[in-house]
Structure 1
Amino acid sequence: MKQEMISYLHTIKDDIFNLSKYLYENPEESFYEYKACNYIVNMLKNNNFKVTEKYLDIPTAFYAEYGSGHPKICLICEYDAAVKEGHITGHNLISSISMGAALSISKVLDNFKNGTVIVLGCPGEFASGAKVTMAKQGTFNDIDSVLMVHPDIEYYETGTSMALLPIKIKYTSEGSHSCLDAAIFTFNALSSLKNNFDLNCSLDSINIKHCDSSSLYLKEAELSLYIKAPKMIQACKIEKKIKILCKATEDLTEVACEMSMHELPYDELIPNHALSRIFSHNLKEIGIIDTVEPKNIFTGLSLGTVSHLVPCLHHYLKITDDSSIKYGTLAFAKATISKFAEESVLKAAIALASTAIDLIEKEELLQEIKVEFYETIKNHQEKPCEA
């Protein structure tokens, strides 16, 4: 079965590489990925996938499926690019890897009594990723596992990410008191408050926006920031302190403070070690044996929210053999269409497809990752944030 998938993948490797190259040459910013979405959707339709376009009324999102019944294995496509910089984080390759895996799975899936492969088009990862909206709308409630591979400068197993809570404070004044003064007061107080946070918690990207710069006595202003923490429950504790600070600001400055979220929050990523082990084994089967320790990142991932609902894989794939190239650079973007990247994508697609088939074919493996998931999720129970 797996050999049949591998053979098929080699017959379509040019199509997969052409997808990578097309996305690289046509970078589109978050939620405007019309060319990318159309290109991928057409590939899926030409391979007999049932495709729902404009999924959840998001113009550049899609939901595609092949097969029937459970297990339902979901592969993620991301395809937005950084504004004016292109695919510096390799989202073009995320789509290529998932598409290569999905198409090869579809060629053997009819050999099983039950099983569905789902390809989920997730736009806007650079701008409060659509996966969070999909999670809240129930997209993942009927899915057994979510798999994706992210390009990097090294091979890493799935690690953790930070919980990310975006906060906005809007200041309004009806009298002679300046909103700018109130915002600066809050800013200075936050700088002192940071010293009392739990380890690894932080406030990032604090920004004061003047809504009317024609007067020193501003009637409106905004302060925005991101709370980062290892767990969302810690971020929520910091949020409560900021609410207390907002109330104190109102009392002291006589300026109204309204607190809200300016983007969707990201939960921390919960790794599934059993799922990582299965995928790492399949990587070794095709010759990638130098996978190192899990990669814990100090920023947020939209997949973090999904990982609280369903077991998730988020491995990292080395796509360049040039050690001077750094992740998130123009050189890294160019490396996504190199020969080395092309070969890496093919191997990752094989490992991803093999992992999906393992979960469809071997009930005990799927049961193992689900048992770990439910045991782990108990330790992450928390109240939702209030802002």
Structure 2
Amino acid sequence: MHARPEQFDELGRGHRRAARRQQVVDDHHQVALGQRVFVDVERARAVLQLVLDAHAAGRQLARLAHRNQGQLQVVRQRRPEKEAARLDRDDRRQLGVAVLLRERVHDLAHRLRVLEERRDVAKEDARLREVRYVANKLLEVHPERKTNACVPLSPRLALEFRQRGGFVSEQLVSENATAIKRRASDEIERRRQELIDLSLRIHATPEIAFQEHKSSAMVADFLEAQGFALERGICELDTAFRATYGSGEPRIAFVAEYDALPGVGHGCGHNIIGTAAAAAGIALKSLLPEDGGGTVLVIGTPAEEAAGGKVYMVARGAFEGLDCAMMVHPGNRNTFVAYALACLELEIEFRGKEAHAAARPEAGLNALDAMVAAFSNLGLMRQQIRDSARVHGIITEGGQAVNVIPSVTRAKLLIRSEEDEYMDEVLKPKVLACFEGAAQATGCKLTHKWGEESRYKTMRTNMALAEAYRDNVEGLGRKTVMPESKRSMGSTDMGNVSQVVPGIHPAISIAPPEVPIHTEEFREIAKSESGHAGLLDGARALAMTGIDVLLDPELRKRMKDEFAGAGGRSSDGAG
């Protein structure tokens, strides 16, 4: 087909109106003769019609014009409002490609007719929204302007095809995954300014552990306004929340943080973490039907910097039933693997006996001497523990007056290890022995308390999921690197999440390599243009990885198998 000569003077292709009879010409037309394409029109019609019928497409099926009248259609497919198929001069390339691929597509059409006979198509149709919304957004036949033809699928239909296997699962779903990711990225770009504004508002309102009432509400209110169902104060934590959209599997969670550091504010960039999680959730939500096809969650987690909000939330079931949990952390390099040490708090108290430090020191038992001796023991012990282990602490109370033998001293320590087993079997007994020896040497009484209820566990990066994230973030032009060492990241309560569900904790670069986190300099970068770029790219990479999980059951299987093989327990609590 070809447009008559005077059509070249028309603007905008007539808004894709139906082809009039005088515009549909044969190969005797003087213009079309030199540019004709041999097309089996009857077979091409069948290809387009059957592919779109299989998708329950748009409720306005593309059919070749027949006397300028819309054809009658079967029940539940609805009529196209008395309008013929919208075909114009550019569409000839779509027909050419369709014919070129007809053998494989006809094989698909045969299988889809079987589905239609089983009423899968009618069932699908019953749940779709307004006619023009779906037709324009997901299932319209696009004239290709570059090289390859593509009939975009909704994530739900792409997932169904992927699960059923065959030609479509290997080619069309792959092509559509790219198109769907582009839509998610465009959604984030469209919201650029409101996302930056949210990040800056959190940054300007620093709140420390379990006091993030304003920051938590900012993120939760933003998600609720976008159509998420909100549960606030979950897991008996006032500043925790869960935002949910959709239903069914897979269940994909983005993890938000928003607490600040005492005295430093957002020197760890949690304003970026919370906003990026919300942005990724909104981008994925825009692709999902409300009733089935998958669930997206944004889980707000307080107190990462101090008490470990996720530790309590894991114990209280906040992450049960998920296929994965993801977050992205701002830093000074782009990584896709996180090594985080297990971390355990230890509180120490020595009790001795007061005495005048000059008149009768021998009558006292010096609790400060006991504490100093214990810290000396720790220094000597470090030679006999693994290089990756860490023991560090402060004396929080060392006496009240310089002329009185201190009767009470207290300290707080953190011990860290790259393996939870080494922590329990080696490090804890050695550290405690340092204090027990000091108590025996000075005659003071020792009491101690391990903070097991807030223990950070090692980060178990799910490599299948991490590699998907790596591919997506590198597709945005960011080159990733591996961490220099397994202890370079410190500790995070995301480690506890990774023990119960496949998880990742990548880093997105916003600062030069020489600028560490937890500094005033990093705090300022977290609200700069570089910080905004990290926020938007981090959100895009998370959303794209969520799409991979949504569309690719093979990826989900690799994630699950790796998680089980690493000793992870299922999200329902089974070992």
Give me the TM-score of the superposition, normalised by structure 2: 0.61
- Post-superposition Cα deviations, 1:54-101, rounded to whole Å, max 9, x if no partner, equal 222222211221112322211111111222322222111111211110
- 1:144 maps to which residue? 323
Q: 1:352 to 1:250 in 2, by over 3 A?
A: same
- 1:196 maps to which residue? 384
Q: Is contact 2:399–2:409 with CA below 8 Å preserved after alignment? A: yes
The 2-side partners of 1:326 and 1:146 are apart by 26
Q: What is the letter of the counterpart of residue 365 of structure 2?
A: H
- 2:198 maps to which residue? 19
Q: Is contact 1:206–1:225 with CA below 8 Å preserved after alignment? A: yes
- Post-superposition Cα deviations, 1:114-161, rounded to whole Å, max 9, x if no partner, equal 321111111112212201111222222322211011111221121211
- 1:226 maps to which residue? 414
Which of 474, 478, 496 is the aligned partner of 1:284?
A: 474
Q: 1:246 to 1:357 in 2, by over 3 A?
A: same
Is structure 2 residue 266 aligned with structure 1 residue 87? yes
Q: What is the aligned-residue identity percentage?
A: 26
Query: SS state of the match for residue 158, structure 1?
Result: coil
The 2-side partners of 1:378 and 1:41 are apart by 30
Q: What is the letter of the counterpart of residue 203 of structure 2?
A: Y
Is structure 2 residue 240 aligned with structure 1 residue 61? yes
Q: 1:307 to 1:378 in 2, by over 3 A?
A: closer
Moved more, 48-57 or 323-332: 323-332
Is structure 2 residue 371 aligned with structure 1 residue 187? no
Q: 1:278 to 1:102 in 2, by over 3 A?
A: same
Is structure 2 residue 422 aligned with structure 1 residue 243? no
Matches within 5 A, 1:47-196: 47-110=226-289, 113-173=292-352, 176-196=364-384
- 1:36 maps to which residue? 215
Give me the TM-score of the superposition, normalised by structure 1: 0.89
The 2-side partners of 1:19 and 1:58 are apart by 22
The 2-side partners of 1:211 and 1:171 are apart by 11
Bigger relative CO (Cα 8 Å, ≥ 6 apart): 1
The 1-side partners of 2:489 and 2:280 are apart by 29
Query: SS state of the match for residue 506, structure 2?
Result: strand
The 1-side partners of 2:546 and 2:250 are apart by 9
Q: Is contact 1:212–1:219 with CA below 8 Å preserved after alignment? A: no
Matches within 5 A, 1:253-292: 253-262=442-451, 264-288=454-478, 290-292=479-481
Q: Is contact 1:212–1:220 with CA below 8 Å preserved after alignment? A: no
Is structure 2 residue 560 aligned with structure 1 residue 370? yes
Gaps of 5+ in 2: 1-179, 355-363, 570-575
The 1-side partners of 2:294 and 2:416 are apart by 38
User: Which structure features the higher share of strand residues?
Assistant: 1
The 2-side partners of 1:374 and 1:342 are apart by 37
Is structure 2 residue 489 aligned with structure 1 residue 314? no
Q: What is the letter of the counterpart of residue 248 of structure 2?
A: G
Instruction: Note the C-alpha offset of 1:44.
Output: 1.2
Q: Is contact 2:344–2:416 with CA below 8 Å preserved after alignment? A: yes
Q: 1:344 to 1:182 in 2, by over 3 A?
A: closer
- 1:301 maps to which residue? 492
Q: 1:221 to 1:72 in 2, by over 3 A?
A: same
Instruction: Note the C-alpha offset of 1:335.
Output: 2.2
Instruction: Note the C-alpha offset of 1:262.
Output: 4.9
Q: What is the letter of the counterpart of residue 508 of structure 2?
A: L
Instruction: Note the C-alpha offset of 1:39.
Output: 1.0
Q: Is contact 1:173–1:219 with CA below 8 Å preserved after alignment? A: yes
Q: 1:198 to 1:332 in 2, by over 3 A?
A: closer
Q: Is contact 1:67–1:116 with CA below 8 Å preserved after alignment? A: yes
Q: Which has the larger radius of gyration?
A: 2
Moved more, 249-258 or 352-361: 249-258
Gaps of 5+ in 1: 380-387
Q: 1:108 to 1:258 in 2, by over 3 A?
A: same
- 1:385 maps to which residue? none
Q: 1:245 to 1:154 in 2, by over 3 A?
A: closer
The 2-side partners of 1:67 and 1:283 are apart by 26
- How many residue pairs end up in the alignment? 377
Query: SS state of the match for residue 336, structure 2?
Result: strand
Q: 1:344 to 1:120 in 2, by over 3 A?
A: same
